[in-house]
C-alpha cells in the first residue's frame, strides 16, 4: 500500500492547511516584530537628527509629517500595540493559562479588538483630539 503524498509542514496555508486565528496571529506577531525592528532604525535616525543641527531635525520632522511618514508612524504604533498585547497573551500561555481552544480564540479576539481601540485612542490623543 502506497503512502499518500501529504505536506510536510502545516505552514502550507491554502490547499493543505486552513488558516486559523491562532496561526494568522502568530504570523502577524512575527511581522509586527520585523516592523518594530525597522521602526527602531527610524527612531535612531530621529534621535541622531535631534542631536544634530536644527536644520537636520526640521528636515526629519517634515519627512515624518508627510502623508507617507504619518502612514509609517501609524503602522509602527499599531505594530507596537499589537505586539505588546499579543506578547502579554503569550506570557499567560507560558504560565499555563488559556490553552483551551475557546480561551485561545477569546484571547485572540480580545487582542485584536484592544489593538484597534488602543491604537485609535493613541492617535486620537496624539493628534490633539482631547485638547
Q: Which residues are annotated as a binding site for heme?
A: 83
Long-range contacts of 121-126 (CB under 8 A, 24+ apart): 122/77, 122/81, 123/74, 123/77
Known binding-site residue numbers: 83
13 φ, ψ (degrees, to nearest 5): -70, 135
What's the CA gap between 12 and 7, in Å, rounded? 7
Q: Which residue has the cell 484592544?
A: 114
Amino acid at each position: 500500500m502506497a503512502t499518500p503524498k501529504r505536506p510536510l509542514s502545516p505552514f502550507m496555508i491554502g490547499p493543505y492547511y486552513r488558516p486559523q486565528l491562532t496561526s494568522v496571529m502568530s504570523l502577524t506577531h512575527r511581522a509586527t516584530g520585523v516592523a518594530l525592528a525597522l521602526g527602531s532604525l527610524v527612531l535612531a535616525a530621529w534621535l541622531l537628527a535631534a542631536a544634530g543641527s536644527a536644520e537636520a531635525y526640521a528636515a526629519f520632522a517634515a519627512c515624518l509629517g508627510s502623508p507617507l511618514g504619518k502612514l509609517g508612524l501609524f503602522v509602527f504604533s499599531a505594530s507596537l500595540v499589537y505586539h505588546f498585547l499579543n506578547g502579554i497573551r503569550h506570557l499567560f500561555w507560558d504560565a499555563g493559562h488559556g490553552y483551551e481552544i475557546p480561551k485561545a480564540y477569546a484571547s485572540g479576539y480580545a487582542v485584536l479588538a484592544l489593538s484597534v481601540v488602543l491604537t485609535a485612542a493613541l492617535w486620537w490623543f496624539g493628534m490633539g483630539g482631547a485638547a
